[in-house]
Amino acid sequence: MPAMRQTQALIDLHREAVAEMSDIWEVQEPIRRECFEDRRFCDERGAQWDGSLGEQFANKPRFEVNKVHLACQRLVNEYRNNPVDADFVSKDGVEADDLAETCDMLMRADEQDSGAEDVKVNAVQEAIKGGFGAWRLCADYEDEDDPSEERQRIKFESINDADLTVFFDLDAKRQDKADARRCFVLVPYTVGRYKDEFDDNPVDWPVDTRGYWGSFTWATADCVYVAEYYRKTERKYWEYTYTGPLESVEIVTDADLEEEGFEDSLKSRGFTLSSRRRVSDKVVRKYILSGSKVLEDCGEIPGGVIPIIPVYGKQLFLNGVEHCIGHVRNAKDPQRLANMQRSKLAEISAFSSVEKPIFSAEQVMVHQQLWADDDVEDYRFLLAEPLRNPDGTIAHIGPLGYTKPPMVPPALAALMQVTEQDLNDVLGNQQNGEKIVSNISGKAVELVQDKLDMQAFIYVSNASKAEKRSAEVWLSMAKVLYSVKGRKMRGMDKAGQPQVLEMQQPNMKNGAQTVENDLSKAKFNVVAVPGPSSSTRRKGMVQSLVSAIMATQDPQTRTVLESLMLMNMEGEGMTDVNAWSRKRLVAMGAIKPTDEEQKQMDEAKASEKPDANQQYLQAAAEEAAAKAVKAAADTDLTKAKTLETLSNIENSNNEQTLQLLDRITPEAPQVDVIQAPQTPQSPTM
């Protein structure tokens, strides 16, 4: 990577960053170091004997029966079997199911493509054992091998040893770190790789930079640290509202008005300024820096959020300082004590348990070979000379005494029982939950399992908070990266089936034109609920369906339940059966079809040819309809003729009536008409 030119702004930013990293390290390093030691205690062979206890047993047996690891593994398996699913829901209660489902499907596809399951398990595992874990979200090109590719998708990436590499600013108090302003992710490099990667040599760093390194050492003889530095700032600007003809509105910012001719264009189109307001938004910028300078300016992070997702085992504050602990911390002393007792017991048992006779050299000198071969030859008896007095008389016959085999101290036996109980109290007695005991009710087994589950609840709950934050960060990034008109993307439904989604797709709905899959309008809350995995849920559903089938006698209901059972069964060669069962249920109307399934059904119905019976019934129906139309027409004609006849009859009757009246009625007498006298005209002059 070519060296980046250091402007004064970058120099000031670097000085501020390394000073803040030094302050964070000074406070958090002892806490995070203990988290790391807890993980070593759990996973690394021999780490349970570190310290003064190991020095006391330096020349003695040092055995480990690592019950801490088994307890932590059970909690990790509990999370694996019951992963946390994040779901998008409307903020204001307005129905937005289609867009929320689009977001769900896109996020599932991104998680599958980037192996998010392993990423999250790694973070949760570190949180359970040590107390802190993390993962990151980043934008990456869909096709890295194509230089012209500009489309990006969101990836989930692991952060290993997060307790020693991920640090947020000291003012961030929330567990999900949504309130953080700064974040450092340390990446260790060997000196050789650092030189090749960044064209920089720590030996050449200026001496004056070491003055503000503080407590954190950026470079040693073997290692050079490079930090991903996320910096959140608030950007304030004016927002102007212009009103134009026909009550049209345009909202512009300072940056828009600074463009030459932009405001004149608004005025020429009849827009006038109606209001303005001060607004602000968050901007997150990423830098790569070492102890000497800023190595790279990576630009703004889409969405304006820090894309580092922390996971805590247990978070607590003491005197205003954040602490984090895991499942191992409180079990270390009982585990050490158990190891010590077992090692001591093994040492005792290693001594011979056979009583050995004690002789003087004079007694066995003659028979020493006999005694030496006894372990191999297994003689029926052994010989020994008696001890004699100076006068030759026998002073003692037989051994002088016997060695005693070591005895287990009663205190050690009692202490081992107490230690075992202490371990069970701290870690949980998972053996009871895993045993299948006869003559015990299912309710009792369930109570034992519930008690064990409560010990895992805090870790699953904190994993849910991390999952919720991860979905929020994903949505903020997706609103920027995926709001491209016409872009086709792969999604994944709840059943794990791929779906093709077109972004900002125009559509007609209720007579109005709408835009589907427009993530720029996605405003959702996130609900993260721990629950069984998809595979576990399917197995549970199959068992429930078997019980439901036995409880009903209705043939149609049994058919639906059997098809549901086949659709959710897993196994070798069941994929085609699952698909067939789903099509059957869709055809029966038991489940709602997807858009693609509905389209296929419509096309199949349009191209379907009716059989002979259907053709006969259709022809009969058409014939009946034609007869009905003809009968209606004949009826209308008959009605018209009837009306005409009635009209003729009425007219004839009227004429006859008038003639009859003329005959009966006498002629009226003639009356002379008297004209009114005319007004005399004035003589013309």
Highest mean pLDDT among 110-119, 259-268, 500-509: 110-119
Dmax (CA) of the chain: 216
Higher model confidence: residue 367 or residue 422?
Answer: 367
Spell out the SS3 assignment of 322-369.
Answer: EEEECCCHHHHHHHHHHHHHHHHHHHHHHCCCCCCEECCHHHHCCCHH
- Paired tokens of 11: 């120099």
Give strand ranges (E) for 403-538: 488-492, 498-502, 505-509, 512-516, 524-530
Q: Bridge partners of 107?
A: none
Whole-angstrom Cα distance, residue 340 to residue 362? Answer: 43
Residue 435, classed as helix, strand or coil, is coil
Which of 47-51, 177-181, 244-248, 672-676 shows the lowest mean pLDDT across its residues?
672-676
The band of 12, judged by pLDDT with boundaries at 50, 70 and 90, is very high
Give per-residue pLDDT as tens, 73-93: 888 988 887 778 888 888 765
Query: Can you tell me which residue has the tokens 């051994």?
Result: 399
Report the pLDDT averaged over residues 268-282: 86
Report the pLDDT averaged over residues 581-592: 82
| For helices 534-551 and 555-568, angle between their N-to-C axes, nearest 10 degrees | 160
Q: Bridge partners of 296?
A: 288
Whole-angstrom Cα distance, residue 149 to residue 143? Answer: 6
Residue 205, pLDDT above cutoff 80: yes
Higher model confidence: residue 94 or residue 506?
Answer: 506
pLDDT at 435: 47
Q: Are strands 401-402 and 505-509 parallel, antiparallel or unpaired?
A: unpaired
- Within 82-115, residue ranges assigned H as helices are 97-113
- Paired tokens of 608: 């379907």
The band of 652, judged by pLDDT with boundaries at 50, 70 and 90, is low
Alpha carbon separation from 83 to 169, 196, 576 (Å, rounded): 29, 41, 27
Higher model confidence: residue 64 or residue 511?
Answer: 64
Report the pLDDT averaged over residues 649-677: 49
**Which is nearest to 464 in space by CA: 168, 156, 131, 120?**
120
Whole-angstrom Cα distance, residue 341 to residue 422? Answer: 14
Whole-angstrom Cα distance, residue 325 to residue 584? Answer: 52
Query: Can you tell me which residue has the tokens 């870690």?
Result: 427
Q: What is the CB-side half-sphere exposure of residue 513 using CA atoms within 13 A?
A: 3
- Kindly list the domain boundaries of the chain, sorted by start residue: 359-404
Higher model confidence: residue 574 or residue 454?
Answer: 574
Give per-residue pLDDT as tens, 33-45: 999 999 999 999 9
pTM, two decimal places = 0.69
Whole-angstrom Cα distance, residue 248 to residue 243? Answer: 6
**Which is nearest to 466 in space by CA: 233, 307, 284?**
307
Higher model confidence: residue 543 or residue 36?
Answer: 36
Alpha carbon separation from 555 to 550, 560, 563, 642 (Å, rounded): 12, 9, 12, 59
Higher model confidence: residue 228 or residue 648?
Answer: 228
Q: Which amino acid is at 220?
A: T
**Which is nearest to 185 in space by CA: 303, 71, 288?**
288
The band of 367, judged by pLDDT with boundaries at 50, 70 and 90, is confident
With a pLDDT cut of 70, the percent of the chain lying above it is 77
Higher model confidence: residue 644 or residue 294?
Answer: 294
pLDDT at 433: 46
**Which is nearest to 448 in space by CA: 466, 463, 434?**
434
Give the DSSP H/E element, type plus range, for residue 229: strand 223-243
Whole-angstrom Cα distance, residue 622 to residue 612? Answer: 15
pLDDT at 425: 63
Helices (H) and strands (E) in the chain, counts: 21, 21
- Paired tokens of 461: 């709950």
Give the alpha-carbon dihedral of 281, 287, 291, 293, to 10 degrees.
Answer: -100
**Which is nearest to 344 in space by CA: 403, 402, 404, 419?**
419
Nearby residues of 334 by Cβ (< 8 Å), 6 or more positions away: 419, 422, 423, 426
Higher model confidence: residue 498 or residue 608?
Answer: 498
Q: Are strands 308-312 and 294-300 parallel, antiparallel or unpaired?
A: unpaired
Residue 375, classed as helix, strand or coil, is helix
Higher model confidence: residue 640 or residue 678?
Answer: 640
Highest mean pLDDT among 339-353, 402-416, 523-537, 635-649: 339-353
Give per-residue pLDDT as tens, 599-640: 777 777 777 666 666 666 667 767 777 776 667 666 666 666
Q: Are 38 and 329 in contact (CB under 8 A)?
A: yes
Across the chain, mean pLDDT equals 80
Which of 303-317, 373-387, 583-597, 648-662 shows the lowest mean pLDDT across its residues?
648-662
Report the pLDDT averaged over residues 589-601: 76
The band of 235, judged by pLDDT with boundaries at 50, 70 and 90, is confident
pLDDT at 655: 58
Which of 367-376, 447-456, 492-501, 537-546 shows the lowest mean pLDDT across its residues?
447-456
- Paired tokens of 179: 């309130």
Highest mean pLDDT among 130-139, 239-248, 509-518: 130-139
Give strand ranges (E) for 91-181: 132-141, 152-158, 166-168
pLDDT at 385: 85
pLDDT at 429: 58
Highest mean pLDDT among 228-242, 415-429, 559-573, 598-612: 228-242
Residue 533, pLDDT above cutoff 50: no
Q: What is the CB-side half-sphere exposure of residue 492 using CA atoms within 13 A?
A: 9
Which of 176-185, 327-336, 383-392 shows the lowest mean pLDDT across its residues?
383-392
pLDDT at 673: 40
With a pLDDT cut of 90, the percent of the chain lying above it is 28
Which of 226-235, 345-354, 534-543, 552-561 shows the lowest mean pLDDT across its residues?
534-543
Q: Are 223 and 191 in contact (CB under 8 A)?
A: yes
DSSP state of 584: H
The band of 340, judged by pLDDT with boundaries at 50, 70 and 90, is confident
Whole-angstrom Cα distance, residue 327 to residue 314? Answer: 9
Residue 236, classed as helix, strand or coil, is strand
DSSP state of 211: G
